[in-house]
Chain A
Protein backbone atom coordinates (compact mmCIF):
# COMPACT_ATOMS: atom_id res chain seq x y z
CA UNK A 1 0.00 0.00 0.00
CA UNK A 2 1.40 3.39 -0.99
CA UNK A 3 2.00 5.59 2.01
CA UNK A 4 3.31 9.10 2.49
CA UNK A 5 4.16 10.06 6.06
CA UNK A 6 4.38 13.60 7.36
CA UNK A 7 5.90 14.77 10.62
CA UNK A 8 4.95 16.58 12.72
CA UNK A 9 1.19 16.57 12.26
CA UNK A 10 0.68 19.67 14.39
CA UNK A 11 3.10 22.46 15.21
CA UNK A 12 2.90 25.83 16.92
CA UNK A 13 5.82 28.21 16.40
CA UNK A 14 6.56 31.81 17.28
CA UNK A 15 7.18 34.33 14.55
CA UNK A 16 10.85 34.31 13.58
CA UNK A 17 11.47 30.71 14.60
CA UNK A 18 12.66 28.11 12.13
CA UNK A 19 10.33 25.33 11.05
CA UNK A 20 11.16 21.92 9.63
CA UNK A 21 8.43 19.79 8.10
CA UNK A 22 9.42 16.30 7.06
CA UNK A 23 7.95 13.92 4.56
CA UNK A 24 8.76 10.31 3.81
CA UNK A 25 7.61 7.77 1.25
CA UNK A 26 8.50 4.13 1.00
CA UNK A 27 7.71 3.66 -2.68
CA UNK A 28 10.93 5.05 -4.19
CA UNK A 29 8.95 7.61 -6.17
CA UNK A 30 11.16 10.11 -7.95
CA UNK A 31 8.86 13.11 -7.94
CA UNK A 32 7.64 14.69 -4.73
CA UNK A 33 5.75 17.88 -3.89
CA UNK A 34 5.02 20.32 -1.13
CA UNK A 35 1.66 22.12 -1.17
CA UNK A 36 -0.07 24.43 1.23
CA UNK A 37 -3.82 24.50 1.65
CA UNK A 38 -5.75 27.54 2.81
CA UNK A 39 -9.52 28.16 2.90
CA UNK A 40 -10.74 29.45 -0.43
CA UNK A 41 -7.36 29.03 -2.09
CA UNK A 42 -7.24 25.29 -2.62
CA UNK A 43 -3.88 23.57 -3.04
CA UNK A 44 -0.96 25.81 -3.88
CA UNK A 45 2.34 24.30 -5.06
CA UNK A 46 5.37 25.45 -3.09
CA UNK A 47 8.13 23.21 -4.45
CA UNK A 48 8.52 20.17 -6.61
CA UNK A 49 11.41 17.72 -6.46
CA UNK A 50 12.29 15.47 -9.37
CA UNK A 51 14.85 13.41 -7.44
CA UNK A 52 17.73 13.84 -5.00
CA UNK A 53 19.07 17.42 -5.15
CA UNK A 54 16.83 18.22 -8.15
CA UNK A 55 14.28 20.72 -6.88
CA UNK A 56 12.24 23.41 -8.61
CA UNK A 57 10.16 26.28 -7.39
CA UNK A 58 6.44 25.93 -7.58
CA UNK A 59 3.94 28.75 -7.68
CA UNK A 60 4.54 30.20 -4.20
CA UNK A 61 8.14 29.44 -3.15
CA UNK A 62 8.86 32.71 -1.36
CA UNK A 63 9.71 32.17 2.29
CA UNK A 64 10.33 28.45 1.86
CA UNK A 65 13.18 26.17 0.92
CA UNK A 66 13.44 22.43 0.52
CA UNK A 67 15.94 19.66 0.91
CA UNK A 68 16.04 16.24 -0.67
CA UNK A 69 19.15 14.25 0.15
CA UNK A 70 17.53 10.84 -0.11
CA UNK A 71 14.86 9.80 -2.56
CA UNK A 72 12.58 8.73 0.29
CA UNK A 73 12.69 12.02 2.21
CA UNK A 74 11.65 15.53 1.25
CA UNK A 75 11.84 18.35 3.77
CA UNK A 76 10.23 21.78 3.78
CA UNK A 77 12.05 24.48 5.72
CA UNK A 78 10.77 27.85 6.83
CA UNK A 79 13.60 30.12 7.90
CA UNK A 80 12.13 32.70 10.25
CA UNK A 81 8.45 31.80 10.13
CA UNK A 82 5.84 34.46 9.51
CA UNK A 83 2.24 34.59 10.68
CA UNK A 84 1.01 34.39 7.07
CA UNK A 85 2.65 30.96 6.82
CA UNK A 86 0.02 29.57 9.16
CA UNK A 87 -1.51 26.85 7.04
CA UNK A 88 -1.89 23.15 6.43
CA UNK A 89 1.01 21.71 4.48
CA UNK A 90 0.73 18.60 2.35
CA UNK A 91 3.47 16.47 0.92
CA UNK A 92 2.79 14.21 -2.05
CA UNK A 93 4.68 11.75 -4.19
CA UNK A 94 3.95 10.77 -7.76
CA UNK A 95 3.48 7.40 -9.39
CA UNK A 96 2.63 7.57 -13.07
CA UNK A 97 0.34 10.59 -13.16
CA UNK A 98 -1.28 9.93 -9.79
CA UNK A 99 -0.33 11.84 -6.67
CA UNK A 100 -0.31 10.22 -3.25
CA UNK A 101 -0.69 12.66 -0.37
CA UNK A 102 0.29 12.57 3.25
CA UNK A 103 -2.18 13.46 5.97
CA UNK A 104 -0.91 17.00 6.31
CA UNK A 105 1.00 19.10 8.82
CA UNK A 106 -0.91 21.90 10.49
CA UNK A 107 1.38 24.82 11.29
CA UNK A 108 0.33 27.76 13.41
CA UNK A 109 2.70 30.73 13.63
CA UNK A 110 1.95 33.12 16.48
Chain B
Protein backbone atom coordinates (compact mmCIF):
# COMPACT_ATOMS: atom_id res chain seq x y z
CA UNK B 1 0.00 0.00 0.00
CA UNK B 2 0.88 3.67 -0.06
CA UNK B 3 3.22 4.87 2.66
CA UNK B 4 5.35 7.79 3.82
CA UNK B 5 8.50 7.48 5.92
CA UNK B 6 10.14 10.17 8.00
CA UNK B 7 13.09 8.64 9.79
CA UNK B 8 14.11 11.65 11.86
CA UNK B 9 12.00 12.05 14.98
CA UNK B 10 13.80 15.18 16.08
CA UNK B 11 16.29 17.57 14.56
CA UNK B 12 18.13 20.14 16.66
CA UNK B 13 19.90 23.05 14.98
CA UNK B 14 21.25 26.49 15.72
CA UNK B 15 20.04 29.64 14.00
CA UNK B 16 21.40 30.07 10.46
CA UNK B 17 22.08 26.34 10.12
CA UNK B 18 21.02 24.43 7.01
CA UNK B 19 17.91 22.29 7.42
CA UNK B 20 17.35 18.95 5.75
CA UNK B 21 14.41 16.73 6.72
CA UNK B 22 14.21 13.39 5.03
CA UNK B 23 10.98 12.01 3.54
CA UNK B 24 10.53 9.00 1.31
CA UNK B 25 7.32 7.60 -0.05
CA UNK B 26 5.93 4.52 -1.73
CA UNK B 27 3.03 4.44 -4.15
CA UNK B 28 2.13 2.94 -7.46
CA UNK B 29 0.17 6.05 -8.44
CA UNK B 30 1.15 9.56 -9.41
CA UNK B 31 1.30 11.40 -6.11
CA UNK B 32 0.74 14.85 -4.80
CA UNK B 33 3.23 15.44 -2.01
CA UNK B 34 2.86 17.84 0.87
CA UNK B 35 4.78 19.32 3.74
CA UNK B 36 2.65 20.53 6.63
CA UNK B 37 4.02 22.49 9.58
CA UNK B 38 2.57 22.50 13.08
CA UNK B 39 3.60 25.28 15.44
CA UNK B 40 3.16 24.77 19.19
CA UNK B 41 -0.47 24.99 20.27
CA UNK B 42 -1.78 25.07 16.72
CA UNK B 43 -3.11 22.67 14.13
CA UNK B 44 -1.02 21.64 11.13
CA UNK B 45 -1.00 24.03 8.19
CA UNK B 46 0.12 23.55 4.63
CA UNK B 47 3.69 24.64 4.01
CA UNK B 48 4.07 23.53 0.41
CA UNK B 49 2.87 20.94 -2.06
CA UNK B 50 4.20 19.44 -5.26
CA UNK B 51 2.66 17.39 -8.01
CA UNK B 52 4.33 15.41 -10.75
CA UNK B 53 3.62 18.38 -13.01
CA UNK B 54 5.53 21.06 -11.10
CA UNK B 55 8.25 18.99 -9.38
CA UNK B 56 9.38 21.60 -6.86
CA UNK B 57 7.64 23.60 -4.18
CA UNK B 58 8.94 26.73 -2.49
CA UNK B 59 7.36 28.60 0.39
CA UNK B 60 8.61 30.90 3.16
CA UNK B 61 12.23 30.00 2.37
CA UNK B 62 11.57 26.25 2.45
CA UNK B 63 11.83 24.11 -0.63
CA UNK B 64 11.14 20.50 -1.51
CA UNK B 65 11.73 18.65 -4.75
CA UNK B 66 9.87 15.59 -5.89
CA UNK B 67 12.35 12.94 -7.02
CA UNK B 68 10.61 10.05 -8.70
CA UNK B 69 13.84 8.08 -9.07
CA UNK B 70 14.59 7.95 -5.35
CA UNK B 71 10.90 8.38 -4.34
CA UNK B 72 11.93 11.17 -2.03
CA UNK B 73 10.53 14.56 -1.11
CA UNK B 74 13.05 16.06 1.29
CA UNK B 75 12.47 19.45 2.91
CA UNK B 76 15.30 21.99 2.93
CA UNK B 77 15.94 25.47 4.14
CA UNK B 78 19.20 27.33 3.75
CA UNK B 79 19.14 29.19 7.06
CA UNK B 80 16.74 28.36 9.87
CA UNK B 81 15.46 30.74 12.51
CA UNK B 82 14.23 30.09 16.01
CA UNK B 83 10.69 30.79 14.76
CA UNK B 84 10.95 27.74 12.49
CA UNK B 85 10.81 25.48 15.55
CA UNK B 86 7.81 23.25 14.88
CA UNK B 87 6.80 19.76 13.86
CA UNK B 88 7.03 19.08 10.12
CA UNK B 89 4.87 16.41 8.49
CA UNK B 90 5.38 14.90 5.08
CA UNK B 91 2.17 13.62 3.46
CA UNK B 92 1.05 11.88 0.31
CA UNK B 93 -2.20 11.97 -1.66
CA UNK B 94 -2.89 9.86 -4.70
CA UNK B 95 -5.54 10.40 -7.33
CA UNK B 96 -8.77 11.82 -6.04
CA UNK B 97 -8.50 9.96 -2.76
CA UNK B 98 -9.70 12.03 0.17
CA UNK B 99 -7.30 10.30 2.56
CA UNK B 100 -3.82 11.65 3.09
CA UNK B 101 -1.04 9.30 4.06
CA UNK B 102 1.02 10.97 6.78
CA UNK B 103 4.55 10.53 7.99
CA UNK B 104 5.11 10.47 11.74
CA UNK B 105 6.48 13.98 11.82
CA UNK B 106 9.87 15.52 12.56
CA UNK B 107 10.22 17.90 15.47
CA UNK B 108 12.59 20.75 14.64
CA UNK B 109 14.18 22.63 17.51
CA UNK B 110 16.18 25.71 16.58
CA UNK B 111 18.32 27.17 19.32
CA UNK B 112 19.15 30.89 19.30
Give A residues with C-beta under 8 Å from B: 4, 31, 40-43, 45, 48, 50, 58, 90, 92, 94, 97-104
Closest to A56 in B: B98
Closest to B104 in A: A42
Give the top 8 A-B pairs by smallest Cβ distance, nearest first: A101-B43, A42-B104, A43-B102, A42-B105, A101-B44, A31-B98, A98-B46, A90-B43
CB pair B49–A97 under 8 Å, yes or no, is yes
Cβ 8 A contact of B98, one of A41, A42, A94, A103: A94
Asked if B100 lies at the interface with its beta carbon under 8 angstroms from chain A, I say: yes
Decide: A48 near B44, CB < 8 A? Known: A42-B103, A98-B49: no
Cβ 8 A contact of B102, one of A42, A94, A97: A42
CB pair A99–B102 under 8 Å, yes or no, is no
Contact with A along B52-94 (1 / 0, CB 8 A): 0000000000000000000000000000000000000100010
Cβ 8 A contact of B43, one of A48, A92, A94, A98: A92
User: Which residues on the A side are within 8 Å of B42 (C-beta)?
Assistant: 103-104
- The 12 listed contacts between A and B (C-beta, < 8 Å) are A42-B102, A43-B102, A50-B98, A58-B99, A90-B43, A99-B36, A99-B44, A101-B43, A101-B44, A103-B41, A103-B42, A103-B43
User: Which residues on the A side are within 8 Å of B104 (C-beta)?
Assistant: 40-42
B46 to chain A, nearest CB (A): 5
User: Which residues on the B side are within 8 Å of A101 (C-beta)?
Assistant: 43-45
Decide: A48 near B49, CB < 8 A? Known: A42-B105, A43-B89, A102-B43: no
Q: What's the Cα separation between A92 and B45 when bound, in Å?
A: 10
Closest to B95 in A: A97
Q: What's the Cα separation between A101 and B102 when bound, in Å?
A: 14
Q: What's the Cα separation between A43 and B45 when bound, in Å?
A: 13
Cβ 8 A contact of B44, one of A40, A50, A90: A90
CB pair B103–A4 under 8 Å, yes or no, is no
User: Which residues on the A side are within 8 Å of B102 (C-beta)?
Assistant: 42-43
CB pair B43–A104 under 8 Å, yes or no, is yes
Closest to A44 in B: B102
